[in-house]
Amino acid sequence: MKKAGILGTGTVGKTIGKKLIQLGYEVKMGSRTANNENAVEWAKLNGEKASVGTFEDATKFGDVIFNCTKGEITLRVFELAGPDNFKEKTVIDISNPLDFSQGMPPFLTPEYANTNSLGEEIQKLIPDANVVKTLNIVNCEVMVNAAKSGGDPTMFVSGNSVDAKAETISILKQFGWDDIIDLGDITTARGTEMMLPIWLRIYMATGNGYIGFKIIR
């Protein structure tokens, strides 16, 4: 049976974790403590294939790891999980380096934007793992069900490993994504992370968060 580790116990982690269980994965949700309330409640709702543990436990458990943490704590979480534990694993990074300190809309944390990205920083921290940036440009219900946007939107993947991207694309297809563009190496995550500002402003202008980006071409 395929095993996935989820880093983070927020709505994104819970939604991705539930979907992976529906797809037949065993899933361990990791957090700072081994008995995080959110994680325990999520596991109870998701049957025997769901379990909980620390970030380190979830990382050791999974063949594929989903980073569903908030951007502001992401790098600290990878430190806590133990960089060596990610070796040769596919790490699907959904995080965004958003800074909400000045209210809505957040801006991107300047040191991880424009000439850098959070995806790249994660890859630097775990050089023996294969980071793939994807899914960060839609809300979590659309992540696991692309049609929830109301159409057939485009999804992007960025990463240095062709194999890890192929594995990610296979999961994305099971999430309902049919139109996927491989942008290239992990530095192309700069492009997708910089889509958050337009996502936020479309959401603020229309009140609709169930949107997707279709690249017409």
C-beta of 200: minimal distance to its own copies in Å?
7
Whether 68 contacts 13, CB under 8 Å: yes
Q: Kindly write out the interface string for residues 93-132 of this chain, putting x where it contacts its own copies by CB under 8 A and - elsewhere.
A: --------------xx-x--xxx-----------------
CA-CA distance, 115 to 35, in Å (whole number)? 38
Q: Which residues within the stretch 147-176 sit at the binding site for its own copies (CB under 8 A)?
A: 149-153, 156
The residue among 18 and 148 lying less far from its own copies, judged by its C-beta, is: 148
Q: Exposure of 198 by Cβ count < 10 A (0-12 exposed, 13-18 middle, 19+ buried)?
A: exposed
Q: Among candidates 62, 118, 128, which has minimal Cα distance to 93?
A: 118
* Listed ranges 15-23, 53-61, 70-78, 179-187: which one lies at the site for its own copies (CB under 8 A): 179-187
Tokens of 82: 């133990």
Q: Indicate the SS3 state at residue 148.
A: helix
Chain residues that interact with its own copies, rule: CB under 8 A? 107-108, 110, 113-115, 149-153, 156, 181-184, 188, 190-192, 194-195, 197-198, 200-202, 204-206, 208, 210-217
